[in-house]
Amino acid sequence: MGKKYYQEDIECAPREEISKWQSEGLVRSVRNAYENSEYYRGKMEERGVKPSDVKGVEDIHKLPFVSKEDLREAYPYGLLCRPLSECVRIQSTSGTTGRRVIAFYTQHDIDAWEECCARAIVAAGGTRDDVVQVSYGYGLFTGGAGLNGGSHKLGSLTLPMSSGSTERQIQFMQDLGTTILCCTPSYAAYLGETVSEKGLKGTIKLKAGIFGAEAWSEEMRRDIEEKLGIKAYDIYGLTELEGPGVGYECEEQRGMHICEDQFIAEIIDPNTGETMPDGEKGELVFTSLNKEAFPMIRYRTRDICVLSHEKCSCGRTHVRMAKPMGRSDDMLIIKGVNVFPSQIETVLINNGYSPNYQLVVDRVNNADTLDINVEMNQEMFSDTLSEISARERALVGALKGFLGIYARVHLVSPKSIERSEGKAKRVIDKRKLY
Ligand SMILES: [Zn+2]
């Protein structure tokens, strides 16, 4: 048996102690940003705030927000607060929606990040006796580097597989007795599908998976757990903040504990910027407490979720965040209704379909249209045409009931939707092409 916590004194600290760390960290972080980044100093001056106005966590609302636009504007060095000679690493976002975000790390920043990832692995039941297969992409993406570092810190045997080469992934799981798998949920679903189709579930020793970097539903979690015979844990993070490990699930699997010794989490009303009371849904905002090279002060994540200070049975005292419904970037507005791909995924899995689908949004005669391509499984595929259209009608009804909008459903043959080895491409929004 390993330890139940990686850093018990931190993870289970009394709330008063956490507040003290947060107040001290905020003061330090604000000073670091103001003194070392002209961009931060400009933003604070514009708002009329000086570091001396921030004496503790209760003053956080005085500070201006940092948005993704700020990161783009300040690219590449505007928010950097240490000389490059003190930095040891750069990581970056994929840059699929505009200019890349580049984050800088000192060795101290890397160590703190990897400790957060080690906590996540231990919370998923990991010990130094585990074999951890990291099947996130390596390179500039933080997924591979973060979990790799966390696994090293813990002392587990680490397999830096990176993503892709599915056959080889499964071969290594079998030959080396992998017990913990780390990758995106869509890749875990694909690995699960392959393992289950080839009847290999009995030949692998996986017990847990740590899956993050994209929004996924509870239904998808159950699907992955069943196909791989594991417990599947969520992990949260952003390159802007460090990478994965900002928040992680414990054995309760009811929300992710945020590393509150490293970050202050707030929920704000995305329209007004006002702080929301505990338990209300809104946009998640983070402030880093200890980052040297790339501090983030009130960074707006665009993730919509809820925080809970309810006591957790695992003993950890850090606040929990609910699974985000998705980035507000991922949110589609169709005929005035907010739709997240993860909601559609919920309906599909509840109705017996696989999490392989694609949404096509378009505008025809000034009205939005939503078409959903959904894969049938093998049994459905052998149905007659009239049975297939009956299935389509049933799914249209289920989606209308859940989302409140009409979507055309097209059932397509098994395996016809491309599988993803990283983040899945679920949405084609043709409205953006005009
Ligand atoms: Zn817990």
Query: What pLDDT, in 10s, does the model give residues 180-213?
Result: 999 999 999 999 999 999 999 999 999 999 999 8
HEC readout, 93-120: CCCCCCCCCEEEEEHHHHHHHHHHHHHH
316 CA distance to ligand 1 middle (Å): 5
Q: What's the 9 CA to ligand 1 centre distance in angstroms?
A: 15
* C-alpha of residue 313 to centroid of ligand 1, in Å: 6
Whole-number Å distance, alpha carbon 231 to ligand 1 midpoint, is 15
Sign of CA dihedral 243, 253, 182, 117: positive
Question: What is the distance in A from the centroid of ligand 1 to the CA of 416?
Answer: 39
DSSP result, 108-173: HHHHHHHHHHHHHHHHTT--TT-EEEE-S--TTSHHHHHHHHHHHHHT-EEE---S--HHHHHHHH
Between the CA of 257 and the centroid of ligand 1 the distance, in Å, is 7
- pLDDT-based confidence at residue 329 (cuts at 50, 70, 90): low
Range 249-275 average pLDDT? 96
**Hey, do 1-325 and 332-433 end up sharing a CATH topology, with the first three levels equal?**
no
Burial (CB count within 10 angstroms: exposed 0-12, middle 13-18, buried 19+), residue 354: buried
12: left (phi over 0), alpha (psi -120 to 50) or beta: alpha
Query: Ligand 1 centre and the CA of 106: distance in Å?
Result: 30
- Which residue in 252, 3, 256 sits closest to 125, CA to CA? 3
Residues 337 and 320: beta-carbon distance below 8 Å: no
Say how many Å lie between the CA of residue 249 and the centre of ligand 1. 7
CA of 144 from ligand 1 middle (Å) equals 24
Question: pTM of the full predicted structure?
Answer: 0.89
Give residue 123 CA to ligand 1 midpoint distance, Å: 8
**Extents of the domains making up the chain:** 1-325, 332-433
pLDDT in tens, 7-34: 999 999 999 999 999 999 999 999 999 9
Structure tokens at 108: 């101290």
Q: Is residue 335 over pLDDT 70?
A: yes
Instruction: Return the CATH superfamily for domain 332-433.
Output: ANL, C-terminal domain (3.30.300.30)
Tell me the pLDDT of the chain averaged across its residues. 93
Task: Give the residue-averaged pLDDT of 52-56.
Answer: 98
From ligand 1's centre to the CA of 82, what distance in Å? 35
Ligand 1 mean position to 253 CA, how many Å? 7
- Domain 1-325 belongs to what topology? Rossmann fold (3.40.50)
Strands 87-92 and 102-106: antiparallel
How far apart are the CA of 311 and the centre of ligand 1, in A? Answer: 8
Residue 1 predicted with pLDDT over 60: no
Mean pLDDT of 361-384: 90
